[in-house]
Structure 1
């Protein structure tokens, strides 16, 4: 395993452990390929990658069509949880799932910190 990928995986594991509200995280390429994941065993990484790419495309199109600038994040709220997509680099996204009662601001803060920490390994 590439050492950069291993460092990203460790960062994702730390992110998941940083809050009892965070249930999973992954770094996905902009074309939907999983780069590194910290997902539950019953979640298929390739499926998460595909959904992430679709959400990215929709978010980009919506921000462009509605003249909202460049997309930086997408949030999806469900009855049982929250999905947050944050642009990690021009070619990658961080996806985080969290419990319904999670505070969005704290999740976004944790996401930004993780992206900052991973940035040296993402760019190489």
Structure 2
């Protein structure tokens, strides 16, 4: 892992350490590829474990559709999306022009 990617992963872990409500985070490319991750390994409903690649691809797809919806409905500039489940939130936000922050 390059020094820059290691630093990004460390920043994600520090973010978790500073806020006990953050259980995992990742930085992914807008193409849906993982860049840096501090995601926990959790069992999924489908019998597997969380997968950085799947989380990255879903995050990019959700951001893309959300940005399109904001544009089509003339709601200004996209800021973030919050997905609420029974056990917590997923927050997706742009991190510059080429990346997405998933918390």
Q: What's the TM-score once normalised by structure 1's chain length? A: 0.74
CA distance in 1, matches of 2:75, 2:32: 23
CA distance in 2, matches of 1:70, 1:44: 30
1:75 maps to 2:82 = yes
1:86 maps to 2:65 = no
1:63 is aligned to: 70
Aligned residues between the structures: 96
CA distance in 2, matches of 1:82, 1:28: 18
CA distance in 2, matches of 1:25, 1:75: 14
- Shift >2 Å, 4+ stretches: none
Q: Which runs of 5+ in 2 are unaligned?
A: 42-48
Cα deviations by residue, 1:102-121 (Å, 9 ceiling, x for unpaired): xxxxxxxxxxxxxxxxxxxx
What is the SS of the residue equivalent to 1:24?
coil
Q: Which runs of 5+ in 1 are unaligned?
A: 97-124
Structure with a larger share of its residues in helix: 1
CA distance in 2, matches of 1:59, 1:16: 26
Give 2:56's match in structure 1, choosing from 49, 57, 61.
49
Higher RCO, 1 vs 2 (CA within 8 Å, ≥6 residues apart): 1
What is the SS of the residue equivalent to 2:32?
coil
CA distance in 2, matches of 1:43, 1:58: 22
1:14 is aligned to: 14
Worse-matched range after superposition: 5-14 or 37-46:
37-46
Cα deviations by residue, 1:65-107 (Å, 9 ceiling, x for unpaired): 11112212111111111000111111101000xxxxxxxxxxx
CA shift, 1:8, in A, is 0.4
